[in-house]
């Protein structure tokens, strides 16, 4: 077992799931575009800063930060998924960006250089640690005193219609689903703000702020949205473990639930998130 205890998540993102996200990175970036914009507006990245992008994935927020910190600043994009980092490396090379470094590492255990970063950001990349206080304490060791942490994470499933609506319709066809532990590593592990505050307090951060936001997630047409939802997120994981008949029935139910939300330019549903800030 790794020092951080994150073996299951690392294996998850290094395997088929990571490859699937890498293959669909353009679509994922489109779905998450407004969430990323909310994060960057909240984070307040400045020119000349040294920024760490946690869970950088295929590099969308890393590349955006590279523009914001230029000239004179730099960005390190860190992720546990080699397939996603391969995409990020290609995108950085194609863009001709020279102030980005991409690192394959587990943020919970990586030996960060002391006081290396002026700012740390993450778009939906910090909810998967086995021991969140220890992970954030390790991250803080790489931040200069007073450096700002800014991340976006999902609120509870019930507060995120993009996931809750199809999930509620599909789960009747997935009767063997166990009741999830709301605090277990996963998309909604930081749904309770009091838990998030406790984690950051325990990790040594101060000036913690937690603000709700409801950016839209943009799914495109109905079939593409259903395809996305049954491959990614909580519904995707549940469907993957079901029989073929149940997968088909769950997908049909999710599709029916989304039909009333189809507009002229596709499906757009809100994602309840927290914008979380803190100081090292």
Domain ranges of the chain: 7-155+183-217+271-279
Mean pLDDT of 63-76: 96
Q: What is the pLDDT of residue 1?
A: 46
Q: What is the C-alpha separation between 131 and 133, in angstroms, rounded?
A: 6
Pairing of strands 206-213, 273-279: antiparallel
CA dihedral 157, 82, 139, 159 (to 10 degrees): -10
Q: What is the pLDDT of residue 4?
A: 66
Q: What is the pLDDT of residues 132-152, one digit of tens each?
A: 999 999 999 999 999 999 999
Would you say domain 7-155+183-217+271-279 falls under CATH 3.40.50.150?
yes
**Secondary structure, 3-state, 184-203:** CCCCCCCCCHHHHHHHHHHC
**Nearest C-alpha neighbor of 270 from the set 190, 212, 184:** 212
* pTM of the complete model: 0.92
Query: Is the CB of residue 229 less than 8 Å from the CB of residue 235?
Result: yes
Q: What is the C-alpha separation between 82 and 104, in angstroms, rounded?
A: 7
Mean pLDDT of 202-211: 98
Q: What is the pLDDT of residues 220-247, one digit of tens each?
A: 888 888 888 877 767 777 777 778 888 8
Q: Is the pLDDT of residue 96 over 80?
A: yes
Query: Is the CB of residue 59 less than 8 Å from the CB of residue 30?
Result: no
How buried is 73 (Cβ within 10 angstroms: 0-12 exposed, 13-18 middle, 19+ buried)?
buried
């Amino acid at each position: 077992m790794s020092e951080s205890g994150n073996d299951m998540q690392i294996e998850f993102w290094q395997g088929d799931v990571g490859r699937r996200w890498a293959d669909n990175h353009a679509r994922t970036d489109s779905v998450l575009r407004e969430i990323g914009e909310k994060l960057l507006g909240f984070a307040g990245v400045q020119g000349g800063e040294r920024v760490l992008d946690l869970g950088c994935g295929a590099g969308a927020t890393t590349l955006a930060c590279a523009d914001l910190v230029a000239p004179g600043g730099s960005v390190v994009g860190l992720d546990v998924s080699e397939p996603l980092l391969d995409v990020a490396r290609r995108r950085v090379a194609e863009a001709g960006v020279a102030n980005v470094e991409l690192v394959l590492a587990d943020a919970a255990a990586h030996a960060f250089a002391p006081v290396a970063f002026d700012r740390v950001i993450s778009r939906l990349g910090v909810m998967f640690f086995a021991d969140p206080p220890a992970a954030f304490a390790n991250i803080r060791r790489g931040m200069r005193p007073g450096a700002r942490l800014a991340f976006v994470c999902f609120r509870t499933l019930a507060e995120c219609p993009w996931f809750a609506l199809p999930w509620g319709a599909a789960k009747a066809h997935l009767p063997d689903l166990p009741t999830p532990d709301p605090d277990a590593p996963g998309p909604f592990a930081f749904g309770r703000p009091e838990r998030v505050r406790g984690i950051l307090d325990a990790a040594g951060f101060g000036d913690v702020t937690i603000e709700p936001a409801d950016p839209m997630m943009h799914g495109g047409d109905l079939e593409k949205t259903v395809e996305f939802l049954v491959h990614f997120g909580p519904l995707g994981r549940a469907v993957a473990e079901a029989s073929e008949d149940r997968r088909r029935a769950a997908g049909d139910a999710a599709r029916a639930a989304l039909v009333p939300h189809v507009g002229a330019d596709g499906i757009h549903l809100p994602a309840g998130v927290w914008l979380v800030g803190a100081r090292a």
